[in-house]
Structures are given as C-alpha cells and as structure tokens.
Amino acid sequence: MKKKIGTVWLGGCSGCHMSLLDIDERILDVAALADIVKSPVVDSKEFPDVDVAIVEGAIITDQHLTEVRHIRAHSKILIALGNCAVTANVPAYRNRVTKEEALKCAYVDASSNDSAGQMPDSPELGKLLDRVRPLHEAVKVDYYIPGCPPSADLIFYVLSELLNGRTPNLDKEKLKYG
C-alpha cells in the first residue's frame, strides 16, 4: 500500500513548494511510493491522515496554530520545510512591532489600499497571534529541512529516504547552503 503525503503552506512565501516542484521528473519516483493527498494543488477540506506531512511557513494566525496542531495529530512524520517553518524567518520581522501596529500600518495607513482607514473584518483571515512562531514552538517536528528555499535535491533525498523506510542522514554537508 502506498504511503500518503500531505503538504501545507502557512505564512511566508511559497518558494519552498516551488522547490518541491523542482524535483522535476523525480516526482515520478515519489509517486511510485506515495500519493499526495493534500497540497496547494490537491485541495481538500480537511487534512487527512498521512504518513508524511510537509509544512512550509510560519505560524502567524490563530487559524495557522489550529491547523498545524490538527496536521500533527494526523501525521506520522512532520517535516518543517524552509526557513519560515524552521525559524519563522521573514514573517517573524513582524515580531519587532505589536500586532496592532502591524495591522494599522497594513490596513489603515497604507496609501495603496483601496479601503484605507478600514481594518479587515473577515473570519477567513484569522486573527494575528501576538508573535509569529516557527513550527516547533507549537508542535513536535520530526525533520527540519532549512533553506530559503531548500534545494530540490535535499527535499527529494529526505522524501525518498522516509518513503523507503529509512532515516535520512541530515549531516552538515547535506544541510549546507549553496
């Protein structure tokens, strides 16, 4: 029986998912071992039970926090993909100001905003947390794949090792930026 993979993009850019796509024809090797049952291009309402969850991005809103806890509960292995998931990276720059200051700057003071002066009022946006967090501050992370974005080769290596029932050797040489 094939294993199941789910991928999610939280707050940050989508560069890590682009690196995941950059494994090119090797996706066929992954497809022989696993079905991708949740991703930005394979949408479903709920995050299903999976063998491997790949989470890109930092936890910015209350919805992200709820979502990542749900993902952890429904995943055998959770991978933090990219610097935003590993360290909160660029989204964490918001931690230098209060959430009220960030919202005011983005929605009230923004000259490029068509509805300048109005705060958004949509439950779909979620409520900003007091500070942006990396994944490990909310849930147990099994593997970290750093990089901004991480290389497609590293992503493929980790996935192929896990899908073949092996523990990836993430020594300093493999995690080297370059």
CA distance 17 to 28: 17
Q: Residue 127 has what pLDDT?
A: 82
Per-residue pLDDT of the chain (178 residues), as tens digits, is: 899 999 998 887 777 777 777 777 888 888 899 998 887 777 677 889 999 999 999 999 999 999 999 999 999 999 999 998 999 888 887 878 887 787 777 667 766 556 555 656 666 667 888 899 999 999 999 999 988 888 888 999 999 999 999 999 887 666 655 4
Q: Residue 178 has what pLDDT?
A: 47
CA distance 177 to 31: 27
Closest by CA position to 14, among listed 31, 39, 34: 39
Q: Residue 113 has what pLDDT?
A: 52
Q: Residue 28 has what pLDDT?
A: 83
Three-class DSSP category at 79? strand
HEC sequence for 100-145: HHHHHHHHHCCCCCCCCCCCCCCHHHCCEEEEEECHHHCCCCCEEE
Q: Residue 55 has what pLDDT?
A: 95
What is the 8-class DSSP label of residue 45?
S
Closest by CA position to 16, among listed 149, 140, 178, 156: 149
Domains present along the chain, CATH in parentheses: 3-96+128-175 (3.40.50.700)
